[in-house]
Copies of this chain bind each other. A is one copy, B any other.
Amino acid sequence: MADQKKRRRVGEKEPETLPFKSKLKPDSAILQIVKKLAEQEAAASTSTAKPLTLADLKLAQACREVSDLPLSSVQSRIEELVLSITHSIMSENGFSLTVPSRSAANQLYVPELDRIVLKDKTSIRPYANVSTVRKTAITTRIMQLIYQLCLKNIHVTKRDLFYTDVKLFQDQTQSDAVLDDVSCILGCTRSSLNVVAAEKGVVVGRLMFSDNGDMIDCTKMGMGGKAIPPNIDRVGDMSSDALFILLVEKDAAYMRLAEDRFYNRFPCIIVTAKGQPDVATRLFLRKMKMELKLPVLALVDSDPYGLKILSVYGCGSKNMSYDSSNLTTPDIKWLGIRPSDLDKYKIPEQCRLPMTEQDIKTGKDLLEEDFVKKNPGWVEELNLMVKSKQKAEIQALSSFGFQYLSEVYLPLKLQQQDWL
C-alpha cells in the first residue's frame, strides 16, 4: 500500500501551487503566534479571578437563573414544593404553580455578561381553571417522573419521558415545553434533572477526559472521533496540551481536519455538533474552555446561520436563556469563513451562492441583536454579507483542492491572527 500511495506516473505534472500558499511562514513561526494567544487566554482567565454574575450587576432580583444541583437537592426541592402545595390545598387556597415566563418579552441580553438571560416575570398556573388544568397536571406529572429519576440516578431522553404517559402528554412538544418549565420552577439546569437530548457532537484531538469512569484519549480516536457524551455530569478529569479549541460548524470540515490530523501539526482540540448546537455539545465546549482555559476559534459557514450558530454557543438561545450561565462559552473568536474572506481568498464566483430573501432578512435581524452590535468587527462583516448578498459554505474552499482548508487556509488564518 505504502508505495501505491505515492505512486505518480512519469510525465505527470506536480499539482499547481495553491493560492496564498507562498504567504505561509514555517509552522514553528505560526506556532509561536498561537502560543501567544493561548498565554493571553490563560492570563486573562486567572486575572479575572471570578466571572461576573447577575449579583455583581445587581440583577439577581430582576433576573432568573438556574444552577447545577445534585440529585439530592432536586429531590428536596420537589418535596418542598409538594409540601407547600399540600398546605395550600389544606388551608383551602387550592392548588396552583408559579411558573417563570419563557416568552420573548421576558428575555434580556446583558452586555456585561455577553449572554441572554431570563427576566423575573412569572405566571400563575391554577389547577382549578379550565384553561390551565391540563398544563398543571402535566407539570405535576413531569415532576413526579423526575423524582423517580432522582431515586434511580439514571438518565433518560425527552422521548422516554413522553412515553411514560402518552395519554396525558398527547404530543411530545407538550412534555418537552413543560420540562423547561420544571427546570425554571425548581431553579436547576435540565442536566440536573437527568433528562438528556440525543447526542450529536464529536470531538477529536489533544484532549483526555473521563466518560462515565472510562479514560478517553482523543488523539487515539482515529478519524471517527469520540462521540460527546449526552450527560455532562459523568464527564470529568479533562486535561490537554492543546493551544486552542477549534469549533467547527459541520462534519465535512471536521472530517477533513480529523483525517489530516490537523491537531498534530497545530496542537488543538477539534469539536463539532454537526450543525445546530445541541445541549450536550454546548455543555462540553464550555467545560473544556473553563477547565483548560483555552481560546476558542470558530469555523462556520459564511452565512447568517453560521453567525447564528456561533452566537448560540457564545451567548445562548432564547429558548433556554434561563440556563445561559451554564450553556454559553464566553469569548469565542470568529476565525472564518468570514464574508470578507470571500474576496480575500478569491473564492471563485461559482462557489458563492446568492442569498435568498429569507437569508437577507435573517442577516438584517442579526444586525439588530445586541450580541452582534457589541462587536464592531462582526457588524462590519455582517453588513458586508447583507450588502454583497453572497454566502459560502466552508466546503467552498475545496474548489482550491480538498486539503486547502487544512494546508493553507487555517494555517494562514492563525499566522495572520485573523480572528474577530
Bound state CA distance, A155 and B402, in angstroms? 9
Q: Which chain B residue lies CB-closest to A350?
A: B167
**A70 located at the interface, meaning its Cβ lies under 8 Å from any Cβ of chain B in the complex:** yes
Tell which of B1, B166, B216, B403 touches A222, judged by Cβ atoms closer than 8 Å: B216
A200 to chain B, nearest CB (A): 9
Flag if A402 contacts B154 (CB, 8 Å).
yes
Q: Which chain B residue lies CB-closest to A284?
A: B224
Among A8, A212, A215: residue with most chain B CB under 10 A:
A212
**A97 located at the interface, meaning its Cβ lies under 8 Å from any Cβ of chain B in the complex:** no
Tell which of B7, B70, B234 touches A4, judged by Cβ atoms closer than 8 Å: B70
Flag if A216 contacts B221 (CB, 8 Å).
yes
A287 to chain B, nearest CB (A): 14
* Chain A: interface residue total (CB-CB under 8 A): 69
Flag if A226 contacts B223 (CB, 8 Å).
no
A69 to chain B, nearest CB (A): 11
Flag if A251 contacts B198 (CB, 8 Å).
yes
Q: Is the interface of A mostly helix, strand, loop or mixed?
A: mixed
Bound state CA distance, A220 and B208, in angstroms? 13
User: Could you say how many copies of this chain the assembly holds?
Assistant: 2
Determine, out of A41-49, A85-93, A330-338, A391-399, the stretch whose residues face the partner at the interface: A391-399
Tell which of B162, B226, B396 touches A226, judged by Cβ atoms closer than 8 Å: B226
Tell which of B154, B160, B398 touches A160, judged by Cβ atoms closer than 8 Å: B398
Supply 25 A–B pairs (Cβ within 8 Å), ascending by A. Answer: A4-B72, A7-B151, A152-B402, A152-B403, A154-B403, A155-B255, A157-B251, A159-B252, A159-B395, A160-B402, A164-B398, A165-B350, A167-B350, A196-B255, A198-B251, A198-B255, A199-B202, A202-B227, A211-B222, A212-B259, A214-B219, A214-B221, A224-B230, A226-B227, A227-B227
Chain A interfacial positions (CB closer than 8 Å to B) = 1, 4-5, 7-8, 70-72, 75, 148-149, 151-157, 159-167, 196, 198-199, 202, 210-216, 219-231, 234, 251-252, 255-256, 259-260, 274, 350-351, 393, 395-399, 402-403
**Interface contacts beyond A4-B71, A154-B403: sample of 5 additional A-B pairs, CB < 8 Å, sorted by A:** A4-B70, A211-B224, A214-B220, A222-B234, A223-B231
